[in-house]
Structures are given as C-alpha cells and as structure tokens.
Chain A
Amino acid sequence: MTDLALEMSGVSKKYRYFTLDKVDLKLPRGQIMGLIGANGAGKSTTIRILMGLVHQDAGEVRVLGHSMPAEQVAAKWDIGFASEDMRLYDAMTLGWHMNFIRSIYSSWDASYAQLLLKRFGLRADHKIKGLSHGQRVKSALLLVLARKPKLLVLDEPTTGLDPIARHEILRELTEVMANEDRSVLFSSHNTQDVEQISDHITFIDRGRVIDSMDKEAYLDRWRRLRLEVPLGIDLPALPGVIGVHQRGRLAVATANAFVPDLANAYESTGARVQCVENMTLEEIFVANVAHSREEVEV
C-alpha cells in the first residue's frame, strides 16, 4: 500500500507535432491536484496516459498502486474518469445509464445518486438526446461521482458550465475531500477554480511540467513589487526576480522566489518600494508561461 494516489516518473510520449517530455508527477492520497496549462500544453495527454488510454513511450506510471497501462483493468475499479469527449447513449435516459453503471460497480451509492440528481437539477427520465451541454457534463459527472471512487480524474470538468453549475461541481469535489482516503486530479483553464480547491498545483506548458508543488507554498513564492525609481538609478538584476517592467520612474518587478529581503535589496539601490502585492494564480500563470517560453527561446 503506497500513500501516493498517483505517480508518474520520466514519462514521455512523442507525436508528430507534440512531445510530452519526461513528466514527473506525484499526488499524495487525500489531496486535490489541479493541472493547469494553455490549450495544447499536454494536460489531456497526461490524463490519457494516467488512465491507460494512451501508452507512454518511456517512463513509469502508477495509479492507486497499479502499474499503468499493464494493470489498468484492476486500477479502474477504483478510478472515476470523466472527460469532455465521453459519450453517453443519446437514445437512452439518464436513469438507464445510472442502472447500467450500478450493475457494474458494487460501490454505487444509490441515495447519493438521488441527491446528486436533485443538486444538479437533472431528471432520471430525460433522454440524453434532449440535454444541453451543461446537463450532459453534469450527467457524466454524476455517473462517476455516485460510484464513490478512490480517485477521480476529471478532464476540464467545469469548462462550458454556467456559474451555478460550476459551483455545484466544485462543491461536490470538495465534499469528496471529507474522506481522507479519496483523491482528485482535475485539469482546468479556470485558474480561479484551481486556486480555490487544489492542495497541489501542476503547471504544464509545451509538454513539460514547469512547476508542481503545494499550492500555499507556491502562491507564497510569487509577488509583485511596485517600485519608484529616482532618475539616474538603474535597477540591478536580483535573484528571484523573473521580470521588471519600467516606464519613467515607476517600475513593476515580478518575483517567483520572493523573500522579504528582496524589498530591502531594492531599497538599498535607492529605489523605493511602494508596495508588495500577492498575485492570483491567473496572474502567476500568465507570468510563468511567458517566462518559461523566454527561457526556452534564449
């Protein structure tokens, strides 16, 4: 028994126009990991490899202690997976799907399924054909949530949902966390969702993991410093600062390894630190992707 819900080490996969490059990931049991990245960054490929749907060219993948893709059949009893391209049978009702899943998985919780129907505003006697995009997404999530799997793997679960539906989904995901033995991995473009509910954040860009760490520690490392720079003073390059934008006497420095001494270091050059601001995950995302792409191109 391992205390990791999932683990990837040195996982690579080469396509003609895209390469997933030596991905390392670790998610401890009982935690939520948010996977962030721009379109085409490699989030879905990573998730498919974790689920055994795509086979890696190199590297080790273990999910709930099972080696993937070799032991995927055993692993999948305890994994709930939902992605956008998952299709339900148009001609059948949601209730038919519920009975179908229930007949396969003994972990199906019928009363929780009823509760989810109510919370998501869905009806069991509705045919899939007549459902809106948001209702389909919620139906697919209901079908995995009611199985109460040990690990939930969700590819873009909140994309295309209205604010009410998004909050319902986030609520269910955080409720999963009441049980210390359950874990969630989800990908999203919505940095606000990730910032709110993740314990662990992983950034992917152009097929590489740029950062993967504890969310609180991660947010704490980033700061924006607003500086007033008297004429004739050049700001030095300081460690931990990834970019400085200056116009006239005002400058903004972005730090990805902030320590309080950094403000003192600027003050000692003759600049005045007007304020030190925290950054949202969205601001960090944009700054980080720009920075890592600069590094690659240099």
Chain B
Amino acid sequence: MPPTFTLSQTDKRPMYLQIMEQIKQRVAAGDWVKGQAIPSIRQLAVDLQVSVITVKRAYYELERAGIIVTHHGKGSCIAASPRSQARLREQELQEHLEQAARIAAQLDMPAEELEDRLHAAGDRLAKNEEELI
C-alpha cells in the first residue's frame, strides 16, 4: 500500500490538515475501508518526508474525529464504516456552507439572496447534466 499522498506548499493550510484531508478522501472514496491497517506514524513521516510530530498530530485529530483507531503498539487502522463515509461528505458540505455564509456576511449579502444563489447554482448544475444526457 504505497501511499500516494502529495503535500502542497502553496496550500495555505497546515501540513497536518492536508494529511488529514487526504486520509479522509481515501475513506470517503472507499479506497480505505473499515479495519484496514494504515501506515505507522513513522513510516508515513518517512514516505512524505515530513516530521513525525506532524503526522502524529494528524493521526491524533483523525482519532478524535472517529475516523481511525490506534491500538498502542499495534499501529492504526480505519474505524469508519460506509455509513460514516456519508457522514464525512456531510461534514464536507457543512464546511463549504459555513464558508459561503462567511463570505456572504463579508459582502453584506442578505440571507435570502444567498439562498436564491444556492437554488440558482443547483438549477445550473441540473441543466448541465441534462445537456450531457
């Protein structure tokens, strides 16, 4: 299982968040399934050429989020079941919605207008899919 993680230097998020993100994506995509062993902290640090402490932090946060479990001395494995894949997607959606609400507030945009814009975006997406068919 050679992990094909890539950390970006232009990504403004801290490295531990990028590592978390990529592990979550693998779970959400179904590549990493419940019970599957994941690389040890030291191994992933060597593979990614980042410090052990950065990977340790990512694993710690993933464990708190219930995505992995770590058995002391035996390494870590994926804890998430397929149902929690949906939950991860949900979480992702929530983060995007909050981001949208934040930007709307900065633009002094009323909530109704934000709502209309969301509907319009949904309509555009539906239309595009129709055209593809």
Residue numbers of A with Cβ under 8 A of B are 30-32, 167, 170-171, 174-175, 177-178, 180, 192, 195-200, 214-216, 219-220, 272, 274, 277-278
Contact = CB atoms under 8 A, between A and B. Distances in A.
B43 interface: yes
Contact of B9 (A174, A180, A192): A192
A199 B49 contact: no
B16 interface: yes
Contacts of B57: 216
Contacts of A215: 51, 53-54
Contacts of A274: 106
B50 interface: yes
B12 A196 contact: no
B16 A216 contact: yes
Contacts of A214: 53
B35 interface: no
Given A192-B9, A216-B16, A277-B12, A175 B51 contact: no
A32 B51 contact: yes
26 contacts: A30-B52, A31-B53, A32-B51, A32-B52, A167-B49, A171-B49, A174-B45, A174-B49, A174-B50, A175-B46, A177-B42, A177-B46, A177-B51, A178-B43, A178-B46, A196-B49, A196-B51, A197-B50, A197-B51, A199-B53, A200-B53, A216-B16, A216-B53, A219-B14, A278-B12, A278-B14
Contacts of A199: 51-53
Interface of B: 9, 12-16, 42-43, 45-46, 49-54, 56-57, 106
Contacts of A272: 106
Contacts of B16: 216
Interface SS of chain B: helix, strand, loop or mixed?
A: helix
A180 B73 CA distance: 13
Given A178-B42, A178-B43, A278 B13 contact: yes
A31 B56 CA distance: 12
Nearest to A219: B14
A196 B7 CA distance: 10
Contacts of B54: 215-216
B106 A170 contact: no
Nearest to A196: B50
A178, A220, A277: most-surrounded residue (chain B CB, <10 A) = A178
Contact of B49 (A30, A31, A197, A277): A197
Nearest to B57: A216
A274 B107 CA distance: 10
Nearest to B12: A278
Nearest to A171: B49
Given A177-B46, A214-B53, A272-B106, 8 more contacts: A196-B15, A196-B51, A197-B50, A199-B53, A215-B51, A215-B54, A216-B57, A278-B12
A216 B15 CA distance: 10
